[in-house]
Amino acid sequence: MFQTLYSYFWWERLWLPANLTWADLEDRDGRVYAKASDLYITLPLAFLFLIVRHLFETYVATPLAGLLNVKEKIRLKASPNAILERFYATTSKHPKQADVELLSKKSGCTVRQVERWFRRRRNQDRPSLLKKFREASWRFTFYLIAFIAGMAVIVDKPWFYDLRKVWEGYPIQSILPSQYWYYMIELSFYWSLLFSIASDVKRKDFKEQVIHHVATIILISFSWFANYVRAGTLIMALHDSSDYLLESAKMFNYAGWRNTCNNIFIVFAAVFIITRLVILPFWIMHCTVVYPLDLYPAFFGYYFFNFMMVVLQSLHIFWAYLIIRMAQKFITGKVVEDERSDREETDNSEEEEEAAAAKNGPLSNGHPVLNNNHRKTD
């Protein structure tokens, strides 16, 4: 059965245009072609990326955070309470008003104390500013290097200037070593993002991020299998062109450099909209949808590749909506923040306690210890 499924999966009519076989893509006369077995290396490389990331965040990003004066906000801890902790862990982190009143009776706390406990408990689970900065630093470094490397790979190629040449001689197009390593490194990086997504900072668009990583991995892998490599290199470089700007804006935002963050964000928003909502659909997708039909009839691989492109484009539209919302806040004078972030929760009384904690020292059971040795009550 496995052999039957294997044969169906690699059926040539799924991956290649009519009248072509895998034999046509066998290495010969010094010409090397993309092969599925090439991608095996991306999994060990992905784990190598995770190791390099850990070392980078520890020995580069953390000292950099210190140099940029990235400061943690003081968080008041929720005092130990078995009843509230059990509800928090098993039922809901955001109890409804009826639940709050019931928990108040069970725990012997006032309604206000229960609300405050849940607010502090949720804040405890939120990632630290240092963690956010370290992640942004790692992604910024990779995306910047990947963009520079990607441009070096494609800028001297004729299809960079004339998109019709993307399909010249397709699929009998040999692979250059620079294209091979560009693909392997990009795919390995996205595998590493998928492997670490559960432990990374969880944002409001978590599901969209998962879809994006999976779609990207499928798209890169499929484009390699079907030898859509020329189109693939253009698409990857186009995506990297704005990602490093966003990550650098986050870094300066976490460091409190508001003006620098806002200025970089303006550039990022312009580059994102131009590349993802103009160049990608009207140049690149036009190239992958229209031009191939001049050379061969549509086949499954043609439809599948362009379907995955539509999935990515839909995510771009979703993120563009969030970017425009942030741009509106910037124009109206409000602080630009990542719309995907889960914000800290506080209220006036808690802000007073946090100020007291910063002034008077450490916390005890979630309450600031005051200089007069009396605890501030809820």
Instruction: State residue 9's pLDDT score.
Output: 77
The reported pTM is 0.78
Only one residue has tokens 């470089």, namely: 237
Four-CA torsion 223, 225, 229, 234, nearest 10 degrees: 20
Instruction: State residue 373's pLDDT score.
Output: 38
Is the bond into 127 cis (omega within 30 degrees of 0)?
no
How crowded is residue 100: how many other Cβ atoms within 10 Å of its Cβ?
17
Only one residue has tokens 């956010």, namely: 132
Q: What is the DSSP string of 103-150?
A: HHHHHT--HHHHHHHHHHHHHHHSPPHHHHHHHHHHHHHHHHHHHHHH
Cβ contact 204:339 at 8 Å: yes
Instruction: State residue 238's pLDDT score.
Output: 93
Instruction: Give phi and psi for 363, each to the nearest 5.
Output: -105, 150
Q: Residue 342, SS3?
A: coil
Instruction: Give phi and psi for 71, each to the nearest 5.
Output: -110, 135
> Which fold does the domain 82-125 belong to in CATH?
Arc Repressor Mutant, subunit A (1.10.10)
Q: Range(s) for CATH 1.10.10.60 in the chain?
A: 82-125
The pair of three-digit structure tokens given for residue 63, joined into one six-digit string:
């000292």
Q: What is the pLDDT tens value at each position of the chain, 378 positions in all?
A: 677 787 777 787 778 887 788 887 888 878 888 888 899 999 999 999 999 999 999 999 999 999 998 877 777 788 888 888 888 888 888 888 888 888 888 888 888 988 888 888 888 778 888 999 999 999 999 999 999 999 999 999 999 999 999 999 888 889 999 999 999 999 999 999 999 988 888 777 678 888 888 989 999 999 998 889 999 999 999 999 999 999 999 999 999 898 898 889 989 999 999 999 999 999 999 999 999 998 888 888 899 999 989 988 998 999 899 888 887 776 666 554 555 554 555 554 444 444 444 454 444 333 333 333 333 333
Q: Residue 364, SS3?
A: strand
Instruction: Give phi and psi for 189, each to the nearest 5.
Output: -65, -45
* Alpha-carbon distances of 158 from 7, 167, 229, 234, 287, rounded to whole Å: 36, 11, 14, 12, 14
Instruction: State residue 250's pLDDT score.
Output: 92
Please state, in angstroms and rounded to a whole number, the distance separating the CA atoms of residues 224 and 87: 49
Cβ contact 174:227 at 8 Å: no
Instruction: State residue 281's pLDDT score.
Output: 94
Instruction: Give me the sign of the Cα torsion angle 164, 168, 170, 175.
Output: negative
Amino acid of residue 89: A
